Structure 1
Amino acid sequence: MGLGRFGSSIAGTLERLGQDVLAVEKDPDLVAQWSGRVALVEADATNPDALDQLGAREFPVAVVGVGSALEASVLITGNLVDIGIPQIWAKAISGEHARILQRIGAHHVVLPEADAGARVAHLVSGKLLDYIEVEDGFTVVKMRPPKETQGFTIAQSKIRTRYGVTVIGVKSPGRDFVFATPDTRISANDLVIVSGHADLLERFAARP
Protein backbone atom coordinates (compact mmCIF):
# COMPACT_ATOMS: atom_id res chain seq x y z
CA MET A 1 0.00 0.00 0.00
CA GLY A 2 1.80 3.10 -1.26
CA LEU A 3 4.57 3.33 -3.85
CA GLY A 4 6.82 6.00 -2.40
CA ARG A 5 10.51 5.25 -1.96
CA PHE A 6 9.91 2.74 0.84
CA GLY A 7 6.96 0.93 -0.71
CA SER A 8 8.37 0.84 -4.22
CA SER A 9 11.68 -0.56 -2.96
CA ILE A 10 9.87 -3.37 -1.15
CA ALA A 11 7.56 -4.10 -4.09
CA GLY A 12 10.42 -4.17 -6.59
CA THR A 13 12.59 -6.39 -4.40
CA LEU A 14 9.77 -8.85 -3.69
CA GLU A 15 9.05 -9.01 -7.41
CA ARG A 16 12.70 -9.86 -8.14
CA LEU A 17 12.56 -12.55 -5.44
CA GLY A 18 9.71 -14.22 -7.29
CA GLN A 19 6.95 -13.29 -4.86
CA ASP A 20 3.42 -12.51 -6.02
CA VAL A 21 2.97 -8.80 -5.40
CA LEU A 22 0.02 -6.47 -5.82
CA ALA A 23 0.78 -2.79 -5.33
CA VAL A 24 -1.99 -0.33 -4.44
CA GLU A 25 -1.41 3.38 -5.07
CA LYS A 26 -3.85 6.30 -5.41
CA ASP A 27 -1.43 8.84 -6.97
CA PRO A 28 -1.88 8.59 -10.76
CA ASP A 29 1.66 9.84 -11.40
CA LEU A 30 3.16 7.01 -9.33
CA VAL A 31 0.79 4.54 -10.94
CA ALA A 32 2.02 5.63 -14.38
CA GLN A 33 5.65 5.44 -13.22
CA TRP A 34 5.31 1.87 -11.97
CA SER A 35 2.88 0.54 -14.56
CA GLY A 36 4.27 -2.60 -16.18
CA ARG A 37 6.94 -3.09 -13.51
CA VAL A 38 4.75 -4.66 -10.83
CA ALA A 39 1.12 -5.78 -10.71
CA LEU A 40 -0.55 -2.51 -9.81
CA VAL A 41 -3.98 -1.13 -9.01
CA GLU A 42 -4.92 2.54 -8.70
CA ALA A 43 -7.11 2.71 -5.61
CA ASP A 44 -7.51 4.49 -2.27
CA ALA A 45 -6.69 1.94 0.45
CA THR A 46 -8.17 4.20 3.15
CA ASN A 47 -11.54 3.11 1.75
CA PRO A 48 -12.53 -0.34 3.11
CA ASP A 49 -14.73 -0.96 0.06
CA ALA A 50 -11.73 -0.54 -2.23
CA LEU A 51 -9.86 -3.24 -0.29
CA ASP A 52 -12.84 -5.57 -0.58
CA GLN A 53 -12.97 -5.04 -4.34
CA LEU A 54 -9.24 -5.86 -4.57
CA GLY A 55 -9.67 -9.11 -2.65
CA ALA A 56 -7.16 -7.88 -0.08
CA ARG A 57 -8.37 -10.30 2.59
CA GLU A 58 -6.94 -13.17 0.49
CA PHE A 59 -3.36 -11.94 0.97
CA PRO A 60 -1.27 -13.40 3.84
CA VAL A 61 0.97 -10.32 4.17
CA ALA A 62 0.36 -6.60 3.69
CA VAL A 63 2.88 -3.76 3.78
CA VAL A 64 1.74 -0.20 4.51
CA GLY A 65 4.34 1.97 2.85
CA VAL A 66 2.46 5.21 3.50
CA GLY A 67 4.33 7.13 6.18
CA SER A 68 4.23 10.90 5.81
CA ALA A 69 0.41 11.02 5.62
CA LEU A 70 -0.26 9.96 9.21
CA GLU A 71 -4.04 9.77 8.93
CA ALA A 72 -3.88 7.66 5.76
CA SER A 73 -1.30 5.35 7.36
CA VAL A 74 -3.51 4.75 10.39
CA LEU A 75 -6.69 4.30 8.35
CA ILE A 76 -5.09 1.81 5.95
CA THR A 77 -3.55 -0.18 8.79
CA GLY A 78 -6.86 -0.22 10.65
CA ASN A 79 -8.66 -1.44 7.52
CA LEU A 80 -6.17 -4.27 7.11
CA VAL A 81 -6.57 -5.26 10.76
CA ASP A 82 -10.36 -5.27 10.35
CA ILE A 83 -10.27 -7.70 7.42
CA GLY A 84 -7.92 -10.03 9.28
CA ILE A 85 -4.65 -9.89 7.35
CA PRO A 86 -2.35 -12.39 9.19
CA GLN A 87 0.79 -10.23 8.91
CA ILE A 88 0.78 -6.45 8.63
CA TRP A 89 4.03 -4.52 8.22
CA ALA A 90 3.74 -0.76 8.53
CA LYS A 91 6.13 2.14 8.07
CA ALA A 92 6.29 4.79 10.80
CA ILE A 93 8.05 8.16 10.76
CA SER A 94 8.24 8.71 14.53
CA GLY A 95 8.06 6.86 17.82
CA GLU A 96 4.53 8.11 18.46
CA HIS A 97 3.42 7.06 14.99
CA ALA A 98 4.90 3.60 15.65
CA ARG A 99 3.04 3.30 18.96
CA ILE A 100 -0.27 4.18 17.29
CA LEU A 101 0.25 1.58 14.58
CA GLN A 102 1.09 -1.06 17.18
CA ARG A 103 -1.96 -0.19 19.26
CA ILE A 104 -4.35 -0.60 16.35
CA GLY A 105 -2.90 -3.98 15.46
CA ALA A 106 0.12 -3.74 13.12
CA HIS A 107 2.25 -6.83 13.70
CA HIS A 108 5.55 -5.27 12.61
CA VAL A 109 6.37 -1.55 12.62
CA VAL A 110 9.43 -0.22 10.82
CA LEU A 111 11.10 3.15 11.30
CA PRO A 112 13.41 3.12 8.27
CA GLU A 113 15.01 6.53 8.79
CA ALA A 114 15.70 5.95 12.49
CA ASP A 115 17.01 2.44 11.83
CA ALA A 116 19.23 3.62 8.99
CA GLY A 117 20.51 6.51 11.10
CA ALA A 118 21.46 4.22 13.98
CA ARG A 119 23.19 1.80 11.62
CA VAL A 120 25.20 4.51 9.88
CA ALA A 121 26.22 6.00 13.24
CA HIS A 122 27.79 2.68 14.21
CA LEU A 123 29.57 2.44 10.87
CA VAL A 124 31.05 5.94 10.83
CA SER A 125 32.13 5.88 14.46
CA GLY A 126 34.47 2.89 14.31
CA LYS A 127 35.93 0.03 12.32
CA LEU A 128 32.69 -1.73 11.48
CA LEU A 129 32.02 -2.36 7.79
CA ASP A 130 28.43 -3.47 8.24
CA TYR A 131 26.04 -3.59 11.19
CA ILE A 132 22.71 -5.36 11.69
CA GLU A 133 20.90 -5.20 15.02
CA VAL A 134 18.64 -8.24 15.21
CA GLU A 135 16.73 -7.74 18.47
CA ASP A 136 17.26 -6.65 22.09
CA GLY A 137 20.83 -5.57 21.44
CA PHE A 138 21.91 -8.80 19.72
CA THR A 139 23.88 -7.68 16.69
CA VAL A 140 25.83 -9.08 13.76
CA VAL A 141 28.72 -7.08 12.28
CA LYS A 142 31.27 -7.31 9.49
CA MET A 143 34.69 -5.97 10.44
CA ARG A 144 38.45 -6.21 10.06
CA PRO A 145 40.06 -8.36 12.77
CA PRO A 146 41.98 -6.64 15.59
CA LYS A 147 45.77 -7.09 15.39
CA GLU A 148 45.86 -9.35 18.46
CA THR A 149 43.77 -11.96 16.61
CA GLN A 150 45.74 -11.91 13.37
CA GLY A 151 47.83 -15.02 12.71
CA PHE A 152 46.04 -17.02 15.40
CA THR A 153 43.18 -19.48 15.38
CA ILE A 154 39.93 -18.49 17.05
CA ALA A 155 40.66 -20.93 19.86
CA GLN A 156 44.13 -19.46 20.41
CA SER A 157 42.76 -15.91 20.49
CA LYS A 158 40.06 -16.88 23.04
CA ILE A 159 37.80 -14.24 21.48
CA ARG A 160 34.59 -15.45 23.12
CA THR A 161 36.20 -15.76 26.56
CA ARG A 162 37.96 -12.41 26.43
CA TYR A 163 35.37 -10.29 24.65
CA GLY A 164 32.05 -12.12 24.95
CA VAL A 165 31.47 -12.16 21.17
CA THR A 166 31.39 -15.00 18.66
CA VAL A 167 33.11 -15.17 15.28
CA ILE A 168 30.53 -16.69 12.93
CA GLY A 169 32.55 -16.75 9.74
CA VAL A 170 35.64 -15.56 7.89
CA LYS A 171 36.09 -14.27 4.33
CA SER A 172 39.65 -14.35 3.04
CA PRO A 173 40.61 -12.47 -0.17
CA GLY A 174 39.94 -14.60 -3.24
CA ARG A 175 38.28 -17.36 -1.22
CA ASP A 176 34.73 -18.32 -0.38
CA PHE A 177 33.15 -17.38 2.94
CA VAL A 178 33.64 -20.14 5.53
CA PHE A 179 31.82 -20.73 8.80
CA ALA A 180 34.23 -20.37 11.67
CA THR A 181 35.46 -23.23 13.85
CA PRO A 182 37.90 -23.09 16.78
CA ASP A 183 40.66 -24.04 14.32
CA THR A 184 39.90 -21.23 11.84
CA ARG A 185 42.96 -19.02 11.50
CA ILE A 186 42.44 -15.28 11.04
CA SER A 187 44.77 -13.18 8.89
CA ALA A 188 45.22 -9.42 8.60
CA ASN A 189 43.40 -9.17 5.26
CA ASP A 190 40.38 -11.21 6.30
CA LEU A 191 36.87 -9.96 6.91
CA VAL A 192 35.20 -11.48 9.94
CA ILE A 193 31.50 -11.80 10.73
CA VAL A 194 30.96 -11.48 14.47
CA SER A 195 27.83 -11.69 16.64
CA GLY A 196 27.03 -10.60 20.17
CA HIS A 197 25.64 -7.73 22.18
CA ALA A 198 26.14 -4.34 20.53
CA ASP A 199 28.19 -2.91 23.40
CA LEU A 200 30.58 -5.89 23.43
CA LEU A 201 30.97 -5.76 19.67
CA GLU A 202 31.82 -2.06 19.79
CA ARG A 203 34.55 -2.77 22.37
CA PHE A 204 35.93 -5.63 20.28
CA ALA A 205 35.93 -3.51 17.11
CA ALA A 206 37.72 -0.70 18.99
CA ARG A 207 40.75 -2.93 19.64
CA PRO A 208 43.79 -1.80 17.60
Structure 2
Amino acid sequence: MQRTRPHDKRVLVIGLGRFGSSLGLELVKHGWEVLGMDSSPRLVQYYSEALTHTVVADATDDEALRQVGADEFKRAVVGIGTHLEESILATSLLVDMGVPDIWAKATSRRHGRILQQIGTHHVVLPEHDMGERVAHLVSGRMLDYIELEEDFALGKTRAPRELLGRKLGETGVRSKRGITVVCIKRHGEAFTYATAETIPQKGDIIVVAGKTNDVERFAEIS
Protein backbone atom coordinates (compact mmCIF):
# COMPACT_ATOMS: atom_id res chain seq x y z
CA MET A 1 0.00 0.00 0.00
CA GLN A 2 1.34 3.40 -1.01
CA ARG A 3 2.15 5.71 1.89
CA THR A 4 1.44 9.30 0.87
CA ARG A 5 0.88 12.57 2.67
CA PRO A 6 -1.98 15.03 2.30
CA HIS A 7 -1.04 17.62 -0.35
CA ASP A 8 2.10 15.59 -1.01
CA LYS A 9 4.77 17.85 -2.54
CA ARG A 10 7.36 15.17 -3.15
CA VAL A 11 8.53 14.11 -6.58
CA LEU A 12 11.02 11.55 -7.87
CA VAL A 13 13.13 12.78 -10.79
CA ILE A 14 14.96 10.04 -12.66
CA GLY A 15 17.79 11.29 -14.86
CA LEU A 16 19.74 14.42 -13.95
CA GLY A 17 20.67 15.56 -17.44
CA ARG A 18 19.68 19.01 -18.71
CA PHE A 19 15.95 18.33 -18.62
CA GLY A 20 15.76 16.45 -15.32
CA SER A 21 18.11 18.76 -13.44
CA SER A 22 16.38 21.95 -14.66
CA LEU A 23 13.01 20.52 -13.70
CA GLY A 24 14.26 19.41 -10.28
CA LEU A 25 15.87 22.75 -9.48
CA GLU A 26 12.73 24.64 -10.47
CA LEU A 27 10.54 22.39 -8.32
CA VAL A 28 12.83 22.91 -5.31
CA LYS A 29 12.55 26.65 -5.90
CA HIS A 30 8.77 26.28 -5.61
CA GLY A 31 8.93 24.41 -2.33
CA TRP A 32 8.87 20.82 -3.55
CA GLU A 33 10.87 18.00 -2.03
CA VAL A 34 12.84 16.42 -4.88
CA LEU A 35 14.64 13.09 -4.90
CA GLY A 36 17.04 13.19 -7.84
CA MET A 37 18.21 9.81 -9.12
CA ASP A 38 20.86 9.03 -11.72
CA SER A 39 23.31 6.23 -12.51
CA SER A 40 26.11 8.80 -12.82
CA PRO A 41 27.94 9.47 -9.51
CA ARG A 42 29.30 12.69 -11.02
CA LEU A 43 25.84 14.15 -11.71
CA VAL A 44 24.46 12.99 -8.37
CA GLN A 45 27.35 14.64 -6.55
CA TYR A 46 27.00 17.82 -8.58
CA TYR A 47 23.32 18.28 -7.62
CA SER A 48 23.57 16.87 -4.10
CA GLU A 49 23.36 20.27 -2.42
CA ALA A 50 20.84 21.88 -4.79
CA LEU A 51 18.20 19.13 -4.67
CA THR A 52 16.52 17.87 -1.51
CA HIS A 53 17.95 14.36 -1.86
CA THR A 54 20.06 12.64 -4.51
CA VAL A 55 20.96 9.00 -4.99
CA VAL A 56 23.09 6.94 -7.36
CA ALA A 57 20.91 4.10 -8.62
CA ASP A 58 19.96 2.18 -11.75
CA ALA A 59 16.38 3.12 -12.66
CA THR A 60 16.04 0.02 -14.84
CA ASP A 61 16.48 -2.21 -11.78
CA ASP A 62 13.19 -2.92 -10.00
CA GLU A 63 14.91 -3.64 -6.68
CA ALA A 64 16.96 -0.43 -6.84
CA LEU A 65 13.81 1.61 -7.41
CA ARG A 66 12.06 0.00 -4.47
CA GLN A 67 15.08 0.59 -2.22
CA VAL A 68 14.89 4.34 -2.85
CA GLY A 69 11.14 4.25 -2.17
CA ALA A 70 9.98 4.95 -5.73
CA ASP A 71 6.74 3.08 -5.07
CA GLU A 72 5.89 5.55 -2.28
CA PHE A 73 5.85 8.62 -4.54
CA LYS A 74 2.65 10.05 -5.97
CA ARG A 75 4.60 11.78 -8.75
CA ALA A 76 7.62 10.76 -10.77
CA VAL A 77 9.41 12.22 -13.77
CA VAL A 78 11.56 10.12 -16.10
CA GLY A 79 14.00 12.55 -17.68
CA ILE A 80 16.08 9.93 -19.49
CA GLY A 81 16.11 10.93 -23.13
CA THR A 82 19.22 9.69 -24.88
CA HIS A 83 18.80 6.00 -24.05
CA LEU A 84 15.47 4.81 -25.41
CA GLU A 85 15.54 1.37 -23.81
CA GLU A 86 16.38 2.75 -20.35
CA SER A 87 13.65 5.38 -20.60
CA ILE A 88 11.00 2.81 -21.53
CA LEU A 89 12.10 0.25 -18.92
CA ALA A 90 12.29 2.78 -16.06
CA THR A 91 8.87 4.15 -16.96
CA SER A 92 7.41 0.66 -17.24
CA LEU A 93 8.67 -0.22 -13.74
CA LEU A 94 7.04 2.90 -12.28
CA VAL A 95 3.77 1.97 -14.00
CA ASP A 96 3.97 -1.54 -12.55
CA MET A 97 4.55 -0.06 -9.08
CA GLY A 98 1.35 1.93 -9.40
CA VAL A 99 2.84 5.43 -9.22
CA PRO A 100 -0.30 7.48 -9.94
CA ASP A 101 1.22 10.43 -11.84
CA ILE A 102 4.12 9.65 -14.18
CA TRP A 103 5.72 12.19 -16.52
CA ALA A 104 8.30 11.08 -19.07
CA LYS A 105 10.52 12.89 -21.54
CA ALA A 106 10.45 11.64 -25.14
CA THR A 107 12.94 12.49 -27.86
CA SER A 108 10.58 11.72 -30.75
CA ARG A 109 6.89 11.15 -31.43
CA ARG A 110 7.58 7.43 -31.84
CA HIS A 111 9.28 7.35 -28.43
CA GLY A 112 6.31 9.27 -27.01
CA ARG A 113 3.79 6.81 -28.45
CA ILE A 114 5.61 3.90 -26.85
CA LEU A 115 5.66 5.68 -23.49
CA GLN A 116 1.92 6.31 -23.74
CA GLN A 117 1.26 2.69 -24.69
CA ILE A 118 2.99 1.38 -21.57
CA GLY A 119 0.93 3.64 -19.32
CA THR A 120 2.73 6.99 -18.96
CA HIS A 121 0.27 9.66 -17.87
CA HIS A 122 2.08 12.64 -19.43
CA VAL A 123 4.61 12.61 -22.27
CA VAL A 124 6.83 15.67 -22.79
CA LEU A 125 8.66 16.43 -26.04
CA PRO A 126 10.73 19.46 -24.96
CA GLU A 127 12.80 19.91 -28.13
CA HIS A 128 9.80 19.46 -30.43
CA ASP A 129 7.50 21.68 -28.36
CA MET A 130 10.06 24.47 -28.05
CA GLY A 131 10.89 24.29 -31.75
CA GLU A 132 7.19 24.57 -32.62
CA ARG A 133 6.71 27.50 -30.25
CA VAL A 134 9.71 29.44 -31.55
CA ALA A 135 8.63 28.78 -35.16
CA HIS A 136 5.35 30.56 -34.44
CA LEU A 137 7.18 33.52 -32.88
CA VAL A 138 9.74 33.82 -35.69
CA SER A 139 7.27 33.49 -38.55
CA GLY A 140 4.56 35.91 -37.44
CA ARG A 141 3.40 38.74 -35.19
CA MET A 142 2.82 36.48 -32.19
CA LEU A 143 4.64 37.62 -29.03
CA ASP A 144 4.15 34.27 -27.32
CA TYR A 145 2.42 31.02 -28.13
CA ILE A 146 1.37 27.93 -26.18
CA GLU A 147 -0.38 24.92 -27.72
CA LEU A 148 -2.58 23.42 -25.00
CA GLU A 149 -3.69 20.44 -27.08
CA GLU A 150 -3.10 19.29 -30.64
CA ASP A 151 -5.60 21.78 -32.09
CA PHE A 152 -6.12 24.42 -29.38
CA ALA A 153 -3.74 27.23 -28.48
CA LEU A 154 -3.17 30.49 -26.63
CA GLY A 155 -1.48 33.35 -28.44
CA LYS A 156 -0.18 36.68 -27.18
CA THR A 157 -0.21 39.51 -29.72
CA ARG A 158 -0.85 43.23 -30.11
CA ALA A 159 -4.49 44.24 -30.45
CA PRO A 160 -5.20 44.63 -34.19
CA ARG A 161 -6.73 47.78 -35.66
CA GLU A 162 -10.19 46.22 -36.08
CA LEU A 163 -10.60 45.92 -32.29
CA LEU A 164 -9.36 49.36 -31.29
CA GLY A 165 -11.76 51.80 -29.66
CA ARG A 166 -14.67 49.34 -29.63
CA LYS A 167 -16.16 47.14 -26.91
CA LEU A 168 -15.12 43.54 -27.51
CA GLY A 169 -18.74 42.46 -27.29
CA GLU A 170 -19.56 44.72 -30.25
CA THR A 171 -16.70 43.60 -32.49
CA GLY A 172 -18.07 40.09 -33.14
CA VAL A 173 -14.48 38.84 -33.00
CA ARG A 174 -15.52 35.42 -31.69
CA SER A 175 -17.97 34.72 -34.50
CA LYS A 176 -15.87 36.39 -37.23
CA ARG A 177 -12.40 35.19 -36.22
CA GLY A 178 -13.14 32.06 -34.15
CA ILE A 179 -11.12 33.27 -31.16
CA THR A 180 -11.84 34.58 -27.67
CA VAL A 181 -9.91 37.47 -26.16
CA VAL A 182 -9.01 36.13 -22.72
CA CYS A 183 -7.05 38.99 -21.16
CA ILE A 184 -5.51 42.36 -21.96
CA LYS A 185 -2.52 44.44 -20.85
CA ARG A 186 -2.00 48.18 -21.15
CA HIS A 187 1.45 49.76 -21.11
CA GLY A 188 2.71 49.99 -17.54
CA GLU A 189 -0.16 47.89 -16.18
CA ALA A 190 -0.63 44.23 -15.34
CA PHE A 191 -2.71 41.78 -17.35
CA THR A 192 -6.42 41.80 -16.51
CA TYR A 193 -9.35 39.65 -17.65
CA ALA A 194 -11.08 40.84 -20.82
CA THR A 195 -14.88 41.17 -20.82
CA ALA A 196 -17.50 42.14 -23.39
CA GLU A 197 -17.14 45.74 -22.10
CA THR A 198 -13.36 45.89 -22.57
CA ILE A 199 -12.20 48.45 -25.14
CA PRO A 200 -8.74 47.73 -26.58
CA GLN A 201 -6.51 50.72 -27.31
CA LYS A 202 -3.50 51.11 -29.59
CA GLY A 203 -0.46 49.32 -28.15
CA ASP A 204 -2.48 46.99 -25.92
CA ILE A 205 -1.28 43.39 -25.64
CA ILE A 206 -3.99 40.73 -25.72
CA VAL A 207 -4.04 36.99 -25.13
CA VAL A 208 -6.45 35.05 -27.34
CA ALA A 209 -7.62 31.43 -27.23
CA GLY A 210 -9.00 29.23 -29.97
CA LYS A 211 -8.28 26.59 -32.58
CA THR A 212 -4.61 26.70 -33.55
CA ASN A 213 -5.26 27.84 -37.13
CA ASP A 214 -7.66 30.56 -36.00
CA VAL A 215 -5.16 31.88 -33.44
CA GLU A 216 -2.42 31.91 -36.09
CA ARG A 217 -4.61 33.74 -38.62
CA PHE A 218 -5.75 36.28 -36.02
CA ALA A 219 -2.15 37.09 -35.08
CA GLU A 220 -1.44 38.01 -38.70
CA ILE A 221 -4.08 40.75 -38.75
CA SER A 222 -2.48 44.20 -38.79
TM range (shorter): over 0.9
Q: Secondary structure at the match of 1:175?
A: coil
Query: Which residue in the other structure is 2:78 paired with?
Result: 64
Which segments of 5 or more consecutive residues in structure 2 lack a partner in the other structure?
A: 1-13
Which segments of 5 or more consecutive residues in structure 1 lack a partner in the other structure?
A: none
Q: How does 1:117-136 map to 2 (within 5 A)?
A: 117-136=131-150
Paired with 2:157 and 2:220, the residues of 1 have a C-alpha distance of 10
Query: Which residue in the other structure is 2:91 paired with?
Result: 77
- Give the letter aligned to residue 80 of structure 2: V
Matched, 1:44 2:93: no
Query: Which residue in the other structure is 1:152 paired with?
Result: 166
Paired with 1:99 and 1:201, the residues of 2 have a C-alpha distance of 27
Q: Secondary structure at the match of 2:77?
A: strand
- Give the superposed CA RMSD: 1.1
Query: Which residue in the other structure is 1:7 paired with?
Result: 20
Q: CA deviation at 1:151?
A: 2.1
Paired with 1:195 and 1:99, the residues of 2 have a C-alpha distance of 27
What do residues 3-40 of structure 1 show as CA deviations (whole Å, max 9, x unaligned)? 11111111111111111211111111211211100021
What do residues 64-115 of structure 1 show as CA deviations (whole Å, max 9, x unaligned)? 0001111111111111111111111111111211121112221111111111
Q: CA deviation at 1:160?
A: 1.0
Paired with 1:107 and 1:181, the residues of 2 have a C-alpha distance of 35
Aligned residues: 208
Q: How does 1:17-28 map to 2 (within 5 A)?
A: 17-28=30-41
Query: Which residue in the other structure is 2:9 paired with?
Result: none
Q: CA deviation at 1:170?
A: 0.5
Q: How does 1:92-131 map to 2 (within 5 A)?
A: 92-131=106-145
Q: CA deviation at 1:136?
A: 3.4
Q: Report runs of 4+ in structure 1 exceeding 4 Å deviation.
A: none
What TM-score, normalized to structure 2? 0.90
Paired with 2:216 and 2:29, the residues of 1 have a C-alpha distance of 35
Answer whether contact 2:185 2:192 (CA < 8 A) is retained.
Answer: yes
Question: Percent identity over the alignment?
Answer: 49
Query: Which residue in the other structure is 1:137 paired with?
Result: 151
Paired with 1:74 and 1:156, the residues of 2 have a C-alpha distance of 53
Paired with 2:192 and 2:108, the residues of 1 have a C-alpha distance of 39
Paired with 1:183 and 1:156, the residues of 2 have a C-alpha distance of 9
Q: Secondary structure at the match of 1:119?
A: helix
Q: Secondary structure at the match of 1:21?
A: strand
Q: CA deviation at 1:183?
A: 1.1
Q: Secondary structure at the match of 1:128?
A: coil
- Give the letter aligned to residue 38 of structure 2: E
Paired with 2:127 and 2:198, the residues of 1 have a C-alpha distance of 37
Query: Which residue in the other structure is 1:161 paired with?
Result: 175
